[in-house]
């Protein structure tokens, strides 16, 4: 794939920071190998057309689901994932992509049980350097804000790319990447670069 087009779900949350990270990465890639990527906002089902990847940002998960349904995007996202669109969910976005018995309703695209706000409330937010097995280059500063947790009892088809102690914090399943932390809140582009490489690889 020459130059993937990446969408960022821009209904609510920190989508602008993901756009900035991808635009920085696009410039970096262009300087290296003239490939890069293009980035655009996604607010309607029609915006999904022609995408090679989609970022679902952090924010407030119940609000994100409500807006996705109001804009007719909820089922469109599920259908796009089933057709093989690569997706990257951070925090609230990861909650939507996974499963869970508690509200909000989930897309259920990735077979991972995700517990929202499992690290605590806003006051319990923290950051720490963590070495991620699936992201080379040394420890990454990981920012957790009302972060979810992934059930460590994962099916074998889910690959754990990083842990905080025994808790998975970065997992991959087929063409989906889920992060419980916020890589867009740092200047480190390695997780976004990993997703871009997943998009460039195309469907298996």
Question: Which positions are catalytic?
Answer: 91, 182, 184
Two tokens, residue 65: 């689901």
* Helix, coil or strand: residue 62: helix
Beta bridge partners of 87: 54, 176
Task: Please report how many Cα atoms fall inside a 13 Å half-sphere around the Cα of residue 153, on the Cβ side.
Answer: 3
* Helix, coil or strand: residue 19: helix
> What is the chain's Cα-based Rg?
16
């Amino acid at each position: 794939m020459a130059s993937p087009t990446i969408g960022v779900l821009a209904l609510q949350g920190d989508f602008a920071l993901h756009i900035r990270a991808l635009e920085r990465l696009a410039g970096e890639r262009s300087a290296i190998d003239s490939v890069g990527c293009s980035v655009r906002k996604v607010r309607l089902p029609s915006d999904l057309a022609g995408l090679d990847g989609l970022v679902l940002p952090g924010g407030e998960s119940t609000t994100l689901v409500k807006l996705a349904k109001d804009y007719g995007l909820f089922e469109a996202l599920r259908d796009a994932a089933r057709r093989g669109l690569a997706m990257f969910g951070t925090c609230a976005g990861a909650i939507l992509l996974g499963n869970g018995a508690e509200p909000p309703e989930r897309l259920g695209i990735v077979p991972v049980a995700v517990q929202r706000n499992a690290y605590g409330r806003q006051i319990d937010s923290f950051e720490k350097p963590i070495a991620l097995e699936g992201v080379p280059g040394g420890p990454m500063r990981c920012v957790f804000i009302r972060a979810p947790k992934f059930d460590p009892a994962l099916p074998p088809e889910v690959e754990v790319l990083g842990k905080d102690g025994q808790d998975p914090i970065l997992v991959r399943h087929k063409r989906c990447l889920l992060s419980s932390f916020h890589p867009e809140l740092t200047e480190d582009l390695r997780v976004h670069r990993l997703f871009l490489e997943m998009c460039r690889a195309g469907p298996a």
